[in-house]
Amino acid sequence: MGLFDLFKSRPKNTAKLAKERLLIIVAQERGAEAMPDYLPLLKRELLEVIRKYVNVDPDAVQVNVEREGSQEVLALSVTLPEKD
């Protein structure tokens, strides 16, 4: 770093940020690759049903297929909005 650089405001460690973002997106995309084709549609329909009763964000519904040994588990999690 040169003398003049001391006066410049430097961005934070962006490499670290890149790595964190990539670890998340890569894990997500690898998961998506291994998932059954019906999952996105299932998720959308579930969201519609839930929204009849509670107003939740699209992100609030998580549908995942997890493997536990030879068994496959369909895990559904819905985050409800905070009560005012």
Partner 1 sequence: MGEVIVVTSGKGGVGKTTTSASLACGFARRGKKIAVVDFDIGLRNLDLIMGCERRVVYDFVNVINGDCTLKQALIKDKRFDNLSVLAASQTKDKDALTQEGVAKVIDDLKNDFDIVLCDSPAGIERGAFFAMYFADRAVVVVNPEVSSVRDSDRVLGIMSSKSRRAEQGQDAVKEHLLLTRYSPDRVERGDMMSVGDVEEILGVKVIGVIPESPEVLSASNSGVPVILDENSDAGQAYSDAVARLLGETVPMRFLDPKKKGFFQRLFGS
Write out the residues near partner 1 by the rule CB under 8 A.
Answer: 1-5, 11-16, 18-19, 21-23, 25-26, 29-30, 33
DSSP letters for 40-61: HHHHHHHHHHHHHHS---GGGE
- Pick the closer one to partner 1 by CB: 19 or 44: 19
Q: Tell me how far, at minimum, the Cβ of 70 lies from partner 1, in Å.
A: 20
Q: Tell me how far, at minimum, the Cβ of 55 lies from partner 1, in Å.
A: 33
- Pick the closer one to partner 1 by CB: 22 or 74: 22
What is the Cα–Cα distance from 25 to 17, expressed in whole angstroms?
12
Closest CA relative to residue 64, chosen from 32, 30, 41: 32
